[in-house]
Structure 1
């Protein structure tokens, strides 16, 4: 709403009227009852936000979202999935990410340890750069694991082939020896 206020250049006295056209269902009835109780004085935009949050985003929910945010770790998510969840939750607890540097630090703290260790070497202090570097490190790590696994598989098959070839040679010699012995 506040972004749209800037777009349509609303004055303070209009800020509580404009949003009412966007309310639907039960919220309309809630607002009508609140307005009737607050009718002694005009409801300011700040008071409307306060009343709305009190009703639809109470303190206990705010605490829950704060805990979810503080406990958020990358774990089994990719960096980009983690970033999406981080962004979703951070909008509820802006006090922890007031600056770009704080946001970058907080994001970095939740990364998987092997990614976090590599990212921290770069001493990055912007959120976008931390996310980019973490995604790059994760991608390179996945590529390295794939190459390592391919090498292991190749070595395993080479060893297996050489052993089976050796076994084949022994079997041929044994069969040939037996045939020669039987012929005599």
Structure 2
């Protein structure tokens, strides 16, 4: 809503009225009852936000979101999935990501060890930079694993062929045939 305030150039007095217009269902009833109880009329935008968050985003939920954010690790997620979850949760805990550098550090701390180890060598100070490097490292790691797997399969098949060739020679000799 605050982004739209800039777009429509609302003054402080009009913000609460504007937002109240967009409330729906139960929120309308909540707002009507709160308005009736508030001593100061009209209710300021700052006070509206306090009341709204108190009702729809209570302290215990804020703490839960904070814990989810602090415990967030990449684990089995891809970099893109991890970044999406990180962005989603960081909205609720801005005190931990006040600056771009803090955001970059927090993101980097949650990366899988092998990715974090490689990304940290670059000493990147921006969030976008860390995300980009992490995605690049992840991509290169996936390509390396694919190449390694292909080599393993080739070696395995070569060994398998040489073993089966050896077994055929033994069978042929045992029966008494010559090649």
**Smaller-chain TM-score bracket:** over 0.9
Unpaired runs of 5+ residues, structure 2, are: none
User: Whose radius of gyration is greater, 1 or 2?
Assistant: 1
Residue 59 in structure 1 maps to residue 59 in structure 2? yes
CA deviation after TM superposition for structure 1 residue 72, in Å: 0.2
CA deviation after TM superposition for structure 1 residue 146, in Å: 1.1
CA deviation after TM superposition for structure 1 residue 40, in Å: 3.8
Separation in structure 2 between the aligned mates of residue 97 and residue 68 of structure 1, nearest angstrom = 14
Listed one character per residue, the Cα deviations across residues 9-32 of structure 1 (whole Å, up to 9, x for unaligned) are 001111111111110000000000
Listed one character per residue, the Cα deviations across residues 154-179 of structure 1 (whole Å, up to 9, x for unaligned) are 101101101111111121122125x9
Aligned residues: 178
Matches within 5 A, 1:138-149: 138-149=138-149
Unpaired runs of 5+ residues, structure 1, are: 180-184
CA deviation after TM superposition for structure 1 residue 39, in Å: 4.4
Q: Which residue is 1:182 aligned to?
A: none
SS at 2:70's partner residue? helix
CA deviation after TM superposition for structure 1 residue 6, in Å: 0.5
Provide the alpha-carbon RMSD of the alignment.
1.2
TM-score, structure 1 normalization: 0.94
Listed one character per residue, the Cα deviations across residues 61-108 of structure 1 (whole Å, up to 9, x for unaligned) are 100000000000001111110000000000000010110000000000
TM-score, structure 2 normalization: 0.96
